[in-house]
Amino acid sequence: MRDLPVLDPGTPDHRSAARYLWWIVRLQKRTVIFGVVMGTVWMVAQALMPYAIGQAIGAGVADRDTTALAVWAGVLLGLGVVQAVAGIMRHRCAVFNWLSAAYRTVQLTVRQAGRLGATLPKRLATGEVVSIGTSDISHIGNAIDVTARGFGAVVAIVTVVVILLNASVPLGLVVVIGVPLLMAIVGLLIQPLHARQQAYREQSGKLTTRAADIVTGLRVLRGIGGESTFAGRYRTESQQVRAAGVRVASVESLLEATQILLPGIFVAVVTWLGARFAVEGKIDVSQLIAFYGYAVFLLFPLRTLTEVVQKLTRGHVAARRVVRVLSLRSELVDPTNPASAPNPQTSNLVDSESGVIIKPGRLTAISAANPEDAVAIADRLGRYSDSGARLDGVRLADLDRTTIRDLILVADNDARLFSGRLRDELTGRRTAENERIQAALYAANAEDILEALPDGLDAMVAERGREFSGGQQQRLRLARALMADHPVLVLVEPTSAVDAHTEARIAARIATARLGRTTVVCTTSPLVLDRTDHVIYVEAGRVVAEGTHRELLDSSPPYAATVTRGEDE
């Protein structure tokens, strides 16, 4: 068995849900095939046991042949050993196939989410993506896992049919006709189950999105008195999801009842016919005993086949959601033949739409009368939206996005803290000395946060860093951005959640920490602006004034009004 998850999940076939499931099977074909073989041996060994028992009783007991009894007892023991070993190996393969399919799906979804970036929340609700990791991967894993038992069940039924036909043609024909008939009846329930499961998945995803929105904006909702309104909407939608779940359960319960009732009737018919043929002398005692064994055994493969249909149906519904995510295309398309990246340390970064020119190696501020204009410029400079932005004359649209992400980092307040060790939170996958981490924390004026944690850098951060205040989270995000040490760093309102004293220290320390490297700060804070080398003032999306902070205070009344507004108020 290989380690899981694999490093590279591969390139999926997402043309349809069925193709996606088949793609997973092909990637895991060795363990899937081995699982099918073990599942077949496991099932056939069980199918042959009634025959061995019948022969042991017929030859050993009825004929009082102790040698034959010992031989058939040995055969029965051998079948038991084979069944046990094959069952263990089948189960190992089933678990591996389940985990591999589930992990691969999660990896592909996460990778796709990273590629889509800002496109994902525009096209899909949060709940739909969350549902993949919470429920859909389980159904996809089950669909791959059940293949071994399903194939084994088919072979076992065929084995029983051959034995029955050899002993009694009428009994064999009952099985040959009865099994497809049972599966056809079960199949009638699959279509409505499929439709109701799909509706339930969609409503469940919407409810998860609603819950995420409420949790994210809980403080705001309480502040404006909207908590009860949103709670009421959540209550209504949760009842709709409950009703959809009941509709799914009603079909599933009917399917479960059918799985018990129909095979039970079928087994009763086979048993009745076998007893009648024995009374009429058409079969002997050993065959009658074997028929009783087959009648009981057939319940298992028949139920397995209906389980296969049910799990494949659920897996198909789940795979459809995964395929929907994998089929999305980013608003930003990489060029077919990417251009070579210029050296950012010696290149101007230009946003032609606004007229902003960022000189290399300087700390530049973008101050806008409308903060949204500064955010839009930052998005264009980091190529989070298509534009004519250029680096040393080369359009960012002509560069590969991976290259751009290596050169330019845009850090805004929409970033999140993740769960895990604080050290990993700040450094990511890379390893870094404590001195570098301490320097980044110092530059972000976040030393007090570290000192307050009993385990220091090894302290565990909760999801979204909820144990930290808004200002502490902002400083930790700033330290993380500084630790990344990109050639070009664009900070969007990095001090909006801290007090004036902290803001002044951060402004001074950023200038020192990023000395000689290109840094852009989108802000209207006078404390930060006064520490920058150059300030660009933007109105209506265009540059209207440039210079140092103090020069612009004297020469540009609109700029002065923008950056001193908070003080005047």
> What pLDDT does residue 221 have?
46
How far is the C-alpha of 165 from the C-alpha of 23, rounded, in Å?
38
Which residue type is seen at 298? L
The confidence score (pLDDT) of residue 167 equals: 73
The gap between the terminal CA atoms of the chain, to the nearest Å, is 67
Cα separation, 439 vs 415, whole angstroms: 21
3-state secondary structure of 370: coil
> Is the separation of the CB atoms in 133 and 165 below 8 Å?
no
pLDDT, tens only, 326-371 = 998 887 788 889 999 899 889 999 999 999 999 999 999 999 999 9
Low-confidence ranges of the chain (pLDDT < 50): 218-221, 566, 568-569
CA dihedral 316, 322, 328, 329 (to 10 degrees): -120
Contact 563, 368 (CB under 8 A): no
Assess whether the previous peptide bond of 5 is cis (omega < 30° from 0): yes
- Across the chain, which distance is largest between two alpha carbons, in Å? 118
CA–CA gap between residue 426 and residue 446 (Å, rounded): 12
- Specify the CATH architecture of the domain 17-327: Up-down Bundle (1.20)
Backbone φ and ψ of 488, nearest 5°:
-125, 125
Residue 474 CA: distances (Å) to CA of 367, 471, 503: 20, 5, 11
**pLDDT single digits (tens) 256-315:** 777 677 777 777 777 787 778 777 877 776 777 777 777 777 778 877 887 888 788 889
Domain segments of the chain: what residues? 17-327, 344-417+485-568
Q: What is the pLDDT of residue 481?
A: 94
Q: CA 5 → CA 10, 179, 211, distances in Å?
A: 12, 39, 30
Class of the 344-417+485-568 domain? alpha beta
Fold match flag (17-327 vs 344-417+485-568): no
Return d(Cα 94, Cα 104) in angstroms, integer.
Answer: 15
Specify the pLDDT at position 220.
47
Q: Distance (Å, rounded) from C-alpha 508 to C-alpha 525?
A: 13
Contact 178, 139 (CB under 8 A): no
Are the C-beta atoms of residues 32 and 144 closer than 8 Å to each other? yes
pLDDT at 351: 96
Contacts of 112 (CB under 8 A, 6+ apart): 325, 326, 328
